[in-house]
Amino acid sequence: MSVTTSAVQATDIVRAGRRRRRRRWIAVTSVLAAVALIAYALSLMVGQTFYSPAEVWGVLTGQRLPGASFTVGELRLPRATTALLTGLCFGMGGVVFQTMLRNPLASPDVIGISSGASAAAVTGIVVLGLGETPVSFLATGAALMAALLIYLLAYKRGGSGARLILIGIGVAAICNSVVSYVISRAAEWDLQTAMRWITGNLNDASWDKVLPLSAVMVLVVPALLLLARDLELLRVGDETASALGVRVERSRLLLIVTAVCLLAFATAAAGPISFVAFLAGPIAVRILGPVGSPVLPAGLVGAVLVLVSDFVAQYALGTRLPVGVVTGVLGAPYLVYLLIRSSRTGGSSL
Q: What is the binding site for other proteins (CB under 8 A)? A: 1-5, 7, 9-11, 13-15, 17-18, 21, 102, 226, 229, 232-233, 235-237, 239-240, 242-247, 289-291, 349-350
Q: For residues 247 and 320, which CB has a smaller minimum distance to other proteins in the complex?
A: 247
CB of 174 to other proteins, least distance (A): 29
Q: For residues 9 and 343, which CB has a smaller minimum distance to other proteins in the complex?
A: 9
Please enumerate in sequence order all residues whose Cβ is within 8 A of that of 146, keeping only pairs 6 or more positions apart, or say none: 112, 113, 115, 116, 117, 171, 175
Whole-angstrom distance, CA of residue 287 vs CA of residue 149: 34
DSSP helix/strand/coil, 12: helix
CB of 290 to other proteins, least distance (A): 4
- End-to-end CA distance of the chain, in Å? 33
CB of 238 to other proteins, least distance (A): 8
Burial of 156 (0-12, 13-18, 19+ CB in 10 A): exposed
Q: Are 287 and 320 in contact (CB under 8 A)?
A: no
CB of 32 to other proteins, least distance (A): 19
Whole-angstrom distance, CA of residue 163 vs CA of residue 103: 12
Q: For residues 73 and 161, which CB has a smaller minimum distance to other proteins in the complex?
A: 161
Please enumerate in sequence order all residues whose Cβ is within 8 A of that of 99, keeping only pairs 6 or more positions apart, or say none: 231, 234, 235, 281, 294, 295, 350
Beta-carbon count within 10 A of 137 CB: 17
Quick one: DSSP state of residue 236? Answer: T
CB of 39 to other proteins, least distance (A): 28
Q: For residues 117 and 228, which CB has a smaller minimum distance to other proteins in the complex?
A: 228
Whole-angstrom distance, CA of residue 336 vs CA of residue 344: 12
Q: For residues 103 and 314, which CB has a smaller minimum distance to other proteins in the complex?
A: 103
Q: For residues 177 and 240, which CB has a smaller minimum distance to other proteins in the complex?
A: 240
CB of 291 to other proteins, least distance (A): 8
DSSP helix/strand/coil, 318: coil
DSSP helix/strand/coil, 191: helix
CB of 106 to other proteins, least distance (A): 15
Q: For residues 119 and 231, which CB has a smaller minimum distance to other proteins in the complex?
A: 231
